Amino acid sequence: METSAQGLVLETRRIILIQLLIGLVVAAGFFIAKGPWDAMSALYGGAISAVSALMLRWGVVQAGGAVQQGEKKKGEAILYVGAAVRFVLILILFGIGLAIMGLTPVATVAGFVTVQLVFLFAARALKQRQG
């Protein structure tokens, strides 16, 4: 793997760790304010976002490998299919959490949105550092 690719993998690992930590903070806030079920709901929502970030990371690594091998179209396809799969998975996981498990909607969405925002801000900061 190329040095810059290794740096990207390490940086995304750091971002995902930060996401998980912020997810725990959000869950702790819901635990204090509303109780354990809302905390579990917030954790679940945060986990959905973290899983999405892990899938994105995997897709970027796979697409980068394809591009390095001269298969640009394959790399693009990996990214597009990965985006669709992540979208569907997020819908399924929300459906399971809210409809089947009966999680608290506000806490679940708050956990997801907060952790997703961490990802967006961290990715933006990474892009600015790279120029």
**77-120: per-residue pLDDT in tens?**
999 999 999 999 999 999 999 999 999 999 999 999 999 999 88
Residue with tokens 């001269």: 70
Least Cα distance to 46 among 30, 72, 24 occurs for 24
DSSP summary character for residue 34: T
pLDDT at 99: 97
Give the model's pLDDT for residue 125: 81
- In tens, the pLDDT along 27-57 reads 999 999 999 999 999 999 999 999 998 998 8
Helices (H), the chain: 3-33, 36-68, 72-95, 105-130
Residue 65 pLDDT more than 60?
yes
Q: Distance between CA 90 and CA 95 in Å, rounded?
A: 8
Long-range (24+ apart) CB contacts under 8 A made by 105-108 are: 105/41, 106/38, 107/30, 107/34, 107/38, 107/39, 107/41, 107/42, 107/45, 108/41, 108/42, 108/44, 108/45
pLDDT at 1: 44
Rounded to 5 degrees, what are φ and ψ at 56? -60, -45
129 token code pair: 């550092």
Confidence class for position 14, pLDDT limits 50, 70, 90: confident
Q: Give the pLDDT score at 4.
A: 61
Phi-psi region of 127 (alpha: psi -120 to 50; beta: other; left: phi over 0): alpha
